[in-house]
Structure 1
C-alpha cells in the first residue's frame, strides 16, 4: 500500500509553498562555487532571519534576499566581495567574544557553514548558480618596464679602496638585522655592530666595511641605480639617524633626521631626493636629502613603524606598523591614499615589485600578501606561508611569523620565517624553493642582482646563501 503524505505536510505545501526539503530533508549545496540562493540562504533562514528578515531588521540589516543583503545595514556594507576577513557578516559569525558573536545566545555556527560563507564571500558573492563573480578581474602578471631600477649608464658602482674600519670586539655576534643587494652589481651589504659589511655576491668574499658610529643599522637599502647606500638605525632610547654613503668611495653624503630613538624603518626615493623614516614614535617623517628639511609628517599609525618603502616610480610611499596597519601615501604631497587592512600582527617587511603593480607585506601573523595598489585589494594571500615546526620540548602555541620579504627584478619573492626556512615564490604566488637553516632564525633576506643567489641573515649573526633554480 502506498504511504500517504501527512496532512500537515500537504497543507503547508499548498498554502505556503514549502517544498519537502524544508520539512526536514537537508538542502544540498550547489556543485560549483557557492551561491546565495542554493548555499547561503538556507543557513541564514535557519539562524538569522528571525532578527534580520523582512519582518525585523536589527541594526537595519535584512538578510531575507540577496538584494537586501547587498544593501547592508545602518553601518554600511556587510560583505566585501573577495574579502571575507573584512566583511562584517563574517566577522560577526566568527567573533571570539560570545557576547558579540552572531547569532546571539546560541552556539557558534558549525565549521562547515562558516567555511561555506567564507568561500561564498571570497569567491565573489554569487547570487545564483548562473551568476558571475563580483570580484573584479585583475591583471597582476609581471611585466618588466624599460627603466626598471634605473640602470646606470656606465659600469655599476662597486667599492674601491674603502678606508679601514675598526670593528668592535663582541662576545656574541649581532643578529643580521638588515641586508640588501645592489640592483646592478655583485654586491651585498650586511648590518654589523657599528658598521656595514660589504661582500661580493658571487665569491662571498669581503670587500670592505662602512663605519656607522651612530649605532646599530636596522635598515639597509641601495638606491635604484646602485650608486648610493642608505643605512638607518641608531641607539635605542638615545638617538636615531639615516646616513647616505657613496658606494664607490664609501664617503658619507648626508645624515638625515635627529630622532630620540633608533630608526627602525626607512627608504630612499628613486630620485634620491627624499628619505622617509620611522620608529617607536609612531610617525613617518619625510625629509629632503639636499638640505635635511622635513617635508611631511604622517601620523595615521597607532604603533611603532616597522617598514617603509617608496614605489619604483617614486609617486607612492608605503608604511607599516607593529599593530598590523599598512598605509599608502602620496609621496610628494603627503596625503593618504589607501589603508591596507588584512594583517592581524606586526608587519615585518614591505617591498614593491619592480613594475610597481604589487606591494608585498609579511607579518607575525604568518601571512604573506601581494597587494594590488590600484585599490588596496590583496591580490594574493598566503595565510600560513611558513607553517611552524614544533620541536621536541616545545609547548603552547608555536609562532609562525614571516620576518622578511624581498622581490628580485623578475618578480619573484624571497621570504624568511620563524620556521627557520627561507622560501622563494613565483610572480603568481606559487612556492618555488625552500631552504632550511640549522641554527638560529632567518630575520633578513636578499637576492643577488642576477637573481642567481638568495641570502638569509640569521639571529646568530650568520649570512647564509643558496643557489636559485631557474
Structure 2
C-alpha cells in the first residue's frame, strides 16, 4: 500500500512537472520508450514477440498482444501494461525480477493517464467509457426502485464564481427525482427541486455547458458544450456517484445539441459543424454521421422508445431519422427560422418543436404532418418541453414562460422575466416549472397556480462566501436568541408574580368567606351579652328604686316613732320600737346604697356590651363587604395571571425556536468550516 501511494505521488509530480504548458509532455518517444528499452524490449520486439506484445513501436504498443489491448488511454489502473509493470497482476514484468523502480512505474502510469501521447506533437487519445451503461432494452415509465439521486455528498465549491450571473442557456430536470441541472462556465450545478438547495458541482473543464439532458431513467446526466470556435465534447455522469463515466466527441467548435438514447447505447451530438454525429456508449466510437443539415445543429432528441432521432438547425431545417441507421424518416417543413428546441411527448407519437419564428409545431409520427401550430412567443420561441402528463411549457424572447395544454391552448403565463426567457422545464412530478433567462435568473413556480416558490442561481457562492454568510447569520440568530431569552425571562418573572398575587387574593377570598360566619357568630354572641347586661342593669335600677322608696318610708316611720317616743318618755316599748325602726331604716339605707352601686356597675357593663355589640356588628358588616369584594379581585387577577402565563409560554416557545435556529446556524458554520478547511464535500442543509 505504501509503495502504491509512492507511485501515485510520483505520478502526480510527473504530471505537475511535465504536463504543464511550460514543460514537456510525457510521451512515448521521449520518456517511455527509453525505459522500455532498458527493461522490456529485449523480450518484446519485432523479432521476439512474447505474448504477441511489441513494445519498441508505438503503433504495436497500441495494438496490444495476443490477449488484447495493453493500453487504455486515460485509464492506467485498467491498463494491463501498467498493471504488470506495477506487479498488480500477472504476468509480472520483468518476469522473475523485482518490480521496476517507482519512478519508472510512475512515468508509465502518468503517460497512460495523460492519453498515451506518441510524441510532443501528438494529441491525447480520448479515454474510453469507464463502464458500459447500455441497457438491454427501453423501459417506458418509471423505473423500479428509488429514483436516482446523488448517493454521496458532492463538492459544493463552484468552479467559476463571477461578479454577476451569466445567461442560463442549459437547464434540465430529472424525469423521476427532485433534481435539476444548470449549465455554467466549466461546471454543471445540481439542485434539489424540492428544497431548491445546491447539492453538487460537477466540473466541466471542456468549457461552457450548452446543453443538458437526463437519461430517460434518470440515472445519467449528459452535458454538451465546449469553447466556441475551438473545441466541443459531450460528457455523461452517473447521477448517483457524480462520477464522469463517458466522454464522446472531438468537435472543433462547441456542442450545441446532444442527447443520450433511451437504451443508453448511443449519444448524438451536433453544433456548428452542421453534422449530427452518433457515438456508441460502449466504446465511445463514432457509429455514423448525418450530413443533411445546411446550418448549425441547434436541437437533438431521441424518441421515448429510442427508434427515432429528431434534429433541428439554425435555418429551420427539421428532420426525423432512424436512430440505429441514420436514415431519413421525415423532413418536417413548417418553420421559417432557427429551430431552438425539440421535445417528444411521452407516448412517442408526437414531437414538439420551437423556433425563432415564434411558433411551436406539434408533429405526428404516422405521416410526419403538423397537427397543430400556434404563435407562442412574439420575437421567437426559445424553448419547448413536454410534461409527462402531456402539458407543454415554452419560453421566448417576449420575456415570458407559458404553460399550454396538450392541444396548444394557453393555460397561463408566468411572471415576466427581466429579459429574454431562454429555457424552461417541468420538475419530476410536473408540479413545478423552472426557467432560465438572459439575466441569469432561475425562477421556480408552481405549475398549478403560477405562484413563485423561490430561485436557483447559476452563480453560487464559494465555500468561503458561504462560511462568511453563515457566520453573519449565526451572529444574527444569536442576537435574536439572546433577545428572546431576555424577553422570556421577564415574562416568566411577571407570570410568577401574577400567580403569587392571584394565590394571595384567593387566600384573602377564602379567609373573607370564613370570616363572615365568624364575625356573624361574634355579633350574635355580643348581642346576647348586651341584651343580658341591659336586662341586668334594668333589674338593678328597679332594685335601687324599690330600696329607695322603702328607705324613705322607713326614715319617715323612724322619725314618727322617735317623735312619739320623745313625747312619751319612759315608754320603754316605744323606745325599743323607735330604736328598731331606726335600725331598719339604717339597714335599708345601706342596702339602697349597695343596690345603687350594683346598678351603676351593671349599667357600665351594659354600656360596654352595647359598644362591643356595635363593634361586632360593624366587623361582621365589614367581613360581608370584604367577602363580596374578594371574588372580583380574584377574577381580575385570574385574567392577569392567565395572560401573563400565556405570554410567558409564547415567549419561551419563541426562545426555543430561536435557540433551535441558532443551533442549526452553528452547525452550518461548522460544516462550512470543515468543508473549507479540507475542500471536502458538504451536503447542503434545509
Q: TM-score scaled to structure 2, two decimals?
A: 0.45
1:193-239 deviation line (CA, Å, top 9, x unaligned): 11111111122111111110110000000001101000000001111
Aligned to 1:274: 266
Unaligned residue ranges in structure 2 (runs of 5+): 1-137, 450-686
Aligned to 2:404: 425
Contact 2:417–2:437 at 8 Å: present in 1 too? Answer: no
Q: Distance in 1 between matches of 2:239 and 2:271?
A: 25
Q: Distance in 2 between matches of 1:256 and 1:323?
A: 26
Cα distance, 1:283 vs structure 2: 0.8
Cα distance, 1:374 vs structure 2: 1.5
1:376-411 deviation line (CA, Å, top 9, x unaligned): 1001100x212x3xxxxxxxxxxx100000111111
Q: Distance in 1 between matches of 2:447 and 2:254?
A: 34
Cα distance, 1:165 vs structure 2: 4.0
Dislocated runs of 4+, deviation >6 Å: none
Aligned to 2:29: none
Aligned to 1:224: 216
Q: Distance in 2 between matches of 1:456 and 1:230?
A: 19
Q: Distance in 1 between matches of 2:183 and 2:432?
A: 19
Aligned to 1:454: 433
Rg comparison, structure with higher value: 2
Aligned to 1:151: 142
Aligned to 1:364: 356
Contact 1:148–1:355 at 8 Å: present in 2 too? Answer: no
1:287-337 deviation line (CA, Å, top 9, x unaligned): 001111111110110100000000000000000000101011000011101
Q: Distance in 2 between matches of 1:438 and 1:469?
A: 19
1:153-189 deviation line (CA, Å, top 9, x unaligned): 1111111211344422323312111111111111111
Contact 1:182–1:188 at 8 Å: present in 2 too? Answer: yes
Q: Distance in 2 between matches of 1:438 and 1:350?
A: 22
SS in 1 for 2:175: coil
Q: Distance in 2 between matches of 1:181 and 1:154?
A: 19
Unaligned residue ranges in structure 1 (runs of 5+): 1-146, 389-399
Change (3 A) 1:148 1:428: farther
1:335 alignment partner, one of 324, 327, 345: 327
Contact 1:148–1:354 at 8 Å: present in 2 too? Answer: no
Cα distance, 1:148 vs structure 2: 7.0
Aligned to 1:235: 227
SS in 2 for 1:324: coil
Cα distance, 1:437 vs structure 2: 2.4
Aligned to 1:202: 194
Report the more deviating stretch, 412-421 or 159-168.
Answer: 159-168
Matching of residue 354 in structure 1 with residue 346 in structure 2: yes
Quote the RMSD (CA, aligned, Å): 1.3
Cα distance, 1:149 vs structure 2: 4.7
Change (3 A) 1:424 1:148: farther
Contact 2:268–2:300 at 8 Å: present in 1 too? Answer: yes
SS in 1 for 2:169: coil
Aligned residue-pair number: 311
Cα distance, 1:468 vs structure 2: 1.1
Aligned to 1:167: 159
Aligned to 1:440: 419
Q: Distance in 1 between matches of 2:349 and 2:417?
A: 35
SS in 2 for 1:456: strand
1:93-131 deviation line (CA, Å, top 9, x unaligned): xxxxxxxxxxxxxxxxxxxxxxxxxxxxxxxxxxxxxxx
Q: Distance in 1 between matches of 2:408 and 2:158?
A: 43
Contact 2:140–2:305 at 8 Å: present in 1 too? Answer: no
SS in 1 for 2:337: coil
Q: Distance in 1 between matches of 2:362 and 2:368?
A: 10
Contact 2:156–2:199 at 8 Å: present in 1 too? Answer: no
Change (3 A) 1:203 1:166: closer
- Write 1 or 2 for the structure with the bigger share of strand: 1
Matching of residue 375 in structure 1 with residue 354 in structure 2: no
1:308 alignment partner, one of 275, 297, 300: 300
Q: TM-score scaled to structure 1, two decimals?
A: 0.65
Cα distance, 1:280 vs structure 2: 0.4
1:261 alignment partner, one of 217, 233, 253: 253
Q: Distance in 2 between matches of 1:327 and 1:216?
A: 27
SS in 2 for 1:440: coil
SS in 2 for 1:436: coil
